[in-house]
Amino acid sequence: MDPNPNIHRQYRSFVTHLECSLTGERYEADRVHGLSRAGRPLLVRYDLEAMRGAVPRIAIQGRPTDMWRWRELLPVRDPKHIVSLGEIETPLVPIPRSGGTHVLVKDEGRLPTGSFKARGLVMAVSMARALGITRIAMPTNGNAGAALAAYASRCGIETIIFCPDDTPEINVREIAMQGARVWRVNGLIDDCGAIVGEGARQGRWFDFSTLKEPYRIEGKKTMGLELAAQLGWELPDAIFYPTGGGTGLIGMWKAFAELEALGWIGSKRPKMFAVQAAGCAPMVRAFEDGVEHAERWENAHTVAAGIRVPRAVGDFLILRAVRESGGRALAVEDNAILKAVDDTAKRDGLLMCPEGGATLAAYRNALAQGLVSEDDRIILFNCSTGLKYPMPEAPLWLDRTQPIDFDAL
């Protein structure tokens, strides 16, 4: 299961402790933890000063470009606990015709199970394995459940997953096919999360909900680490990120701080744009109201199921990153999302998921509002392969036994 046998000869993690993201209270590493005593996410901390002296940036540059090249900045101490399905560095794909000259899409659909959820779940499951956790439950809108099922099945951890009853059918079947027990629930993802939470309180399983364990952030932060390396250690001007639970946005902001502390990048930061659907935009409302916590969004609905998250436990961390960066939380309508997906597929040959399409729609809005310029270097995140989502019918049909009107073809 080790992605790189040579890793055994040179593996070291610099983890020192965990820390409450709200109060700063310290927690011991290498123990099972959920939320902090304040009910907020825990963040993994590293001895960056020691790492700075021990690991030069050039050493990272010389390694295979998979997720595990960043091992000193990851929490897994012993490589025998890594549960890998081949987590590659995802490419930056230009979309000059639908996006613009300086717009690149980080295409996370190339990862195992076809989405960026693989980053967070490979880390969380590897740490669960290291800590002896044997049964996990989690709510999902689809892709996270698929990633958890795959990694947990690979190492023999029992998994129970709850999803809204309108979760795309392909996601539900994918989860079941990869070994989890998946239950459809007549509610939204936070309703599913309430079931998971109650079962955890009864001691039936460990709660793997977004940000309720400390390690998914560490996997997702590798998106930021990769971006820095791919762009020559200079960060872009703006990042548009599809935001439901917001783990990746939080993780990237953490990654940038760690890279600067190591001396590998400067102080420049991209504007972080948290992209939500107009039918479920709790972060946008909280951002515009100038508050630190987002109230639940009632009657949430959108074609982009992955960002249909009415309430996020890490709301204040998302809003903090957006504000510190000079970015914004932006909402886009479903028709703009679908148009962006269609444009990118037909004009640039890249099939994006609806959540990825939302980032292009948001970029177009930001450009029109003067929040970014055409000369800015822009990164959009396509969080899943578009192959998992419904596509328009292709009804044209030809009878080869009849005369063929080639002009009509």
CB 282 within 8 A of CB 310: yes
Axis crossing angle, helix 334-348 with helix 354-369, rounded to the nearest 10: 100
pLDDT of residue 1: 43
Residues 6+ apart with CB under 8 A from 169: none
pTM: 0.93
- Cα–Cα distance measured from residue 296 to residue 294, given in angstroms and rounded to the nearest whole number: 7
CB 308 within 8 A of CB 301: yes
Phi, psi of 256 (to 5 degrees): -65, -40
60-66: which pairs have CB atoms within 8 A and are 24 or more residues apart? 60/229, 61/229, 64/4, 65/89, 65/226, 65/229, 66/3, 66/4
User: Of 148, 141, 144, which Cα lies nearest the Cα of 83?
Assistant: 148
- pLDDT by 10s per residue, the chain, length 409: 444 544 444 678 899 999 999 999 999 999 999 999 999 999 999 999 999 999 999 999 999 999 999 999 999 999 999 999 999 999 999 999 999 999 999 999 999 999 999 999 999 999 999 999 999 999 999 999 999 999 999 999 999 999 999 998 999 999 999 999 999 999 999 999 999 999 999 999 999 999 999 999 999 999 999 999 999 999 999 999 999 999 999 999 999 999 999 999 999 999 999 999 999 999 999 999 999 999 999 999 999 999 999 999 999 999 999 999 999 999 999 999 999 999 999 999 999 999 999 999 999 999 999 999 999 999 999 999 999 998 989 999 999 999 999 999 9
- Cα–Cα distance measured from residue 210 to residue 309, given in angstroms and rounded to the nearest whole number: 11
pLDDT of residue 13: 86
- Ordered alpha helix ranges (H), 299-392: 315-325, 334-348, 354-369
Cα separation of the two ends of the chain: 50
pLDDT of residue 5: 47
The bridge status of strand 92-94 relative to strand 103-107 is antiparallel
- Cα–Cα distance measured from residue 23 to residue 37, given in angstroms and rounded to the nearest whole number: 9
Residue 35 CB coordination number (10 Å): 19
CB 272 within 8 A of CB 322: yes
DSSP classification of residue 131: T
- The answer to whether domain 117-207 has CATH 3.40.50.1100 is yes
CB 123 within 8 A of CB 255: no
DSSP classification of residue 384: B
- Cα–Cα distance measured from residue 350 to residue 382, given in angstroms and rounded to the nearest whole number: 10
Residues 6+ apart with CB under 8 A from 369: none
Of the options 3.40.50.10800, 3.30.70.940, 3.30.750.24, 3.40.50.1100, the CATH number for the domain spanning 92-114+215-388: 3.40.50.1100
- Domain chopping of the chain, boundaries: 5-81, 92-114+215-388, 117-207
